[in-house]
Structure 1
Amino acid sequence: MFDVLVYLYETYWRPDACPDPVQLQRKLTAVGFEREEIREALQWLAGLSVAAESVAAQTQASSLRVYTRDELEHLGQASIDFISFLASAGVLPPALREVVLDRAMAIAGGPVDLEDLKIIVLMVFWSSGEEPDALILDELFVAPEDRLIH
């Protein structure tokens, strides 16, 4: 599923640039993605759209987030730490943080792999029409061992 999401991000610069779901499914099949992988990704994206709409009206300047036991177990410490880092850096507002959490909780299994969470964060920014700044893109894409230290 995550490969499909990354493909969509790289191919369509905004969600509204994507074709309708039927045509998109055909294109993804033609590119070589498996039917089940496409189905999961499209369902996940539909949930992303619903979650984004439900928090669009929220304009909280700041908030304190307390995680439930289920969230702690499902997300894992590395993912929670990364979400906290983004929020404390001021790049993940509370409303978008809640969308990230909603979509991460929608992933089967657990704990959520940090690399998968980064894709979720990227797709949340993508769905909101926002481009994260260069430093955040670096955090989302570049492996720590590949970073140059200045």
Structure 2
Amino acid sequence: TEAASSTRQSSRIFTASEQQRIDLETRGMLLYLEQSGLLDPVSRELVIERAMALDTPDLEADDVKWIVLLVLLNQPGQESAFALMEELIYNGNPDVLH
């Protein structure tokens, strides 16, 4: 449908506070995960929301990877995306996404 295709092509502008908390590398990783089909815009927003809520001074890419994994775990029908993200976390192998 037209609505579904326009949703998939959405772009995300990070606020100043999000840019301070979520570094460029991590924002790039989120974009990569979305372009690879592991995250949809709703899941991406959940990940960002949870990352911003973490009470840690130094948010790292590994922290956000775990958040992505937990978000996917709680999304019905995302079992294959969860498995790919789990592979990425434990083995650091992004080739499984291609």
Matched AA of 2:10: S
What residue number does 1:138 align with? Answer: 87
Aligned to 1:88: 35
Higher RCO, Cα 8 Å, sep 6+: 1
1:136 Cα deviation from its structure 2 partner: 3.4
The 5-angstrom pairing of residues 1-150 of structure 1 reads 60-129=7-76, 130-131=78-79, 132=81, 134-143=83-92
TM-score, normalising length: structure 1: 0.51
Q: How far is 1:76 from its partner?
A: 1.2
Deviation string 1:7-27 (CA, Å, 9 cap, x unpaired) is xxxxxxxxxxxxxxxxxxxxx
3-state SS of the aligned residue for 1:128?
A: coil
Give unpaired runs (5+ residues) of structure 1. Answer: 1-58
Alignment deviations for residues 19-55 of structure 1 (CA, whole Å, 9 cap, x no partner): xxxxxxxxxxxxxxxxxxxxxxxxxxxxxxxxxxxxx
Aligned to 1:22: none
- 1:142 CA displacement: 1.5
Q: Which amino acid aligns with 1:138?
A: E
Alpha-carbon contact 1:96-1:124 (below 8 Å) kept:
yes
Q: Distance in 1 between matches of 2:13 and 2:71?
A: 21
Structure with higher Rg: it is 1
Aligned 8 A contact 1:100 1:124 in 2: yes
Cα gap change, 1:124 to 1:133, in 2 (>3 Å): closer
Label 1:83 to 1:69 Cα distance change in 2 as closer, same or farther (>3 A): same
RMSD of aligned C-alpha atoms? Answer: 2.1
How far the C-alpha of 1:88 sits from its partner, in A, is: 1.3
Residue 133 of structure 1 and its aligned partner are, at CA, apart by 5.8
- Equivalent residue number for residue 10 of structure 1: none
Q: Distance in 1 between matches of 2:73 and 2:46?
A: 12
